[in-house]
Amino acid sequence: MTHNGHLRTATAQDSAALLRLWGLLFDEDADREGPWRSHAAKWFARFVDDRDDARFPVIEVDGVVVATAIGTLELGVPNPQCTKGRSVRLANVITMTEHRGHGYGTALVLDVLNWARSIDADRIDLSATAEGQRLYDKLGFTLTAAPRMKFIL
C-alpha cells in the first residue's frame, strides 16, 4: 500500500470511527445519531473479538481509520454451490473519498478473502454497487443470475 496506509484488524476502540464510515455508505451525516447506530455499536462490540465468525480489517493513515470492510460467517444448508454450507458475507467496504485510489479497497477485500479461507468457508457473497463492481470483477468475483430480494419487517 502507498501513502502510509497500514492494514490492521479493528479493535473495540475503533467503534466510533467505523460507525462514521458505515454512515457514509448510506450517505448519512457522520455525526447524526440514528437508531441503527446503537444497534450497530452493540453488534460490533459483540463480534469484534470473534475471529471465527467475523473479520473487521481497517486501513489506518496517520492514526486515523480511513477505510474498512466486514466479513461475517453465515452458516447455511450445504448445497452444490456451497458444499460445507459455510459462506462469508462481505459488506460495508468503504474508503473515505479523499483516500480512494490507493488500493485500500483491494487490500481490505483480499484480507477478508484470506480470512474466509482460514475459517474453511466455501465462498464469499456480496452486493456490489456499480462503482464497486470493477474492484470485485478484478479480483475474480462473478455476477450471479439470482436476483437479490428483501422484505423489510
Per-residue pLDDT, 96: 94
Phi, psi of 89 (to 5 degrees): -95, 120
Quote the pLDDT of residue 17: 95
Helix ranges (DSSP H) in the chain: 15-25, 35-47, 104-118, 130-138
pLDDT for the residue numbered 50: 96
Domains of the chain: 6-138 (3.40.630.30)
Q: What pLDDT score was predicted for residue 137?
A: 94
Pull the grid cell for residue 13.
476502540
CA dihedral over 42, 74, 55, 109, signed as positive or negative: negative
What's the confidence (pLDDT) of residue 35?
A: 85
C-alpha span between 90 and 71 (Å, rounded): 5
The rounded distance, in Å, linking the Cα atoms of 143 and 137 is 8
The pLDDT, as a whole number, for residue 131 is 84
The confidence score (pLDDT) of residue 30 equals 54
Per-residue confidence in pLDDT tens, the chain, 153 aa: 556 899 999 999 999 999 999 998 887 565 567 788 899 999 999 999 999 999 999 999 999 999 999 999 999 999 998 999 999 999 999 999 999 999 999 999 999 999 999 999 999 999 988 888 999 999 999 988 888 888 889
